[in-house]
Amino acid sequence: MVRIGKFTGKEYHVGPKEISECCINVDEKSKFYKELKEMSYPRPECQECRGCPEYQKLRGGFEMNTPTAANYANIGKTIFKFFEVIASYVHQLVQNIKKIFSKPEPSWAKREVELACKRERAASESNDDGMWDYGCACYESALRAFQSLTKDGHSGMSIGFTKEILNRLIDNKPLTPIEDTDDIWNNISEVNYQCKRMSSLFKYVYSDGRIEYRDINAYIGVDVQDNSTFHSGLIDNIMNELSPITMPYAPSTKPTKVYCQDVLTDKKNGDFDTRAILYAVKPDGERIDIDRFFKESKDGWEEISFGEMRERAEMSGTRLPWVESKLKE
């Protein structure tokens, strides 16, 4: 038979006379024996165990595994040392991250502005136009803004958020979506209202109850021939038809680019009298195909067919590179 101490979890072979009340007499093949055998942590002995002769033989090894005050003190020191090393490592890691994302010292920025102003002054003196004062004033204004931000102790993340906010304010863009409430509009005429929060936004209220919003800075034309940019009422009208503004309105910091090509069939009409509005690219990169064509008339812009657009281009000797790809479709 095997005797397993209730409190020690130790197993040993004994005779029937040596079994005390503090121990359990079990069969080696029993499930209970296997469960007790798995108990390896030390347990406090009772009075009967102290009188058990077999337990006395095991007591020496048992006491060696029993935690004492000294053992607990050593364990505490080891744990404290471990966390001390971890804390030191974390502190060094934080310092390294700060070095990576830290902003330049104000003295560095001041020196950069001095060098830029020196270059502006040299270029202005060679041209004798006296424009260096204007350029230096802009550099110095930027320096003051930079120094102000530096004093706030920004991190790499917070300075990015702050820069985005500052850029929106500089571009006269609202920080929160615009809601159509009576207190945000200045009345310009019977049907026209200008937004107080963003001066480029207008509201038109028509007699039939229809309301229309227009942001004159939402779109910009791009000439496909030389990439020059321009504003056009025709482009605004077309884009407002395709993507009308709704409330609440959260404008992007960048305009939607609308790509066009102009053609001049009669020199007396100025720089152009025919316009192809090809496609638009939103600030997020989404492309919108438009393919609409217009010619000037007495009543303004008149929409024409693709065929007439080609005829007017041939008449003026203007090449339309985008026509070739369109004909393949």
> pLDDT digits over 74-106, tens only?
666 677 777 777 887 787 777 766 665 555 555
Give the pLDDT band of residue 24 (cuts 50, 70, 90).
Answer: very low
Give yes or no for residue 50 having a pLDDT over 90. Answer: no
Q: Output the pLDDT for position 53.
A: 56
Q: Output the pLDDT for position 320.
A: 82
Give the pLDDT band of residue 54 (cuts 50, 70, 90).
Answer: low
Structure tokens at 236: 């605004």
Q: Output the pLDDT for position 71.
A: 56
Structure tokens at 55: 């337990």
Residue pLDDT, tens place only, 273-289: 999 999 999 999 999 99
Give yes or no for residue 43 having a pLDDT over 50. Answer: no
Sequence ranges of the domains in the chain: 2-64, 106-170, 216-328
Nearest to 315 by CA among 273, 279, 277, 278: 273
Residue pLDDT, tens place only, 180-228: 999 999 999 888 999 999 999 999 999 898 999 999 999 999 999 899 9
Give the pLDDT band of residue 133 (cuts 50, 70, 90).
Answer: confident
Structure tokens at 279: 């496609």
In 3-state terms, what secondary structure has residue 81? Answer: helix
Question: Is the pTM for the entire model greater than 0.85?
Answer: no
Give the pLDDT band of residue 293 (cuts 50, 70, 90).
Answer: very high
Q: What does 159-212 look like in DSSP terms, one character per residue?
A: HHHHHHHHHHHHTT--SS-B---GGGEEE-SSSEEEESS-TTEEEEE-TTS-EE
Tell me 255's DSSP state.
P
Mention every residue, 6+ apart, whose C-beta is less than 8 A from residue 295: 273, 274, 275, 301, 302, 304, 308, 312
Find residue 287's DSSP bridge partners.
Answer: 281
User: Which amino acid is it at 68?
Assistant: T
Give yes or no for residue 42 having a pLDDT over 80. Answer: no
Q: Output the pLDDT for position 69.
A: 52
What average pLDDT does the segment 227-239 reach? Answer: 94
Structure tokens at 134: 């204007």
Give the pLDDT band of residue 151 (cuts 50, 70, 90).
Answer: confident
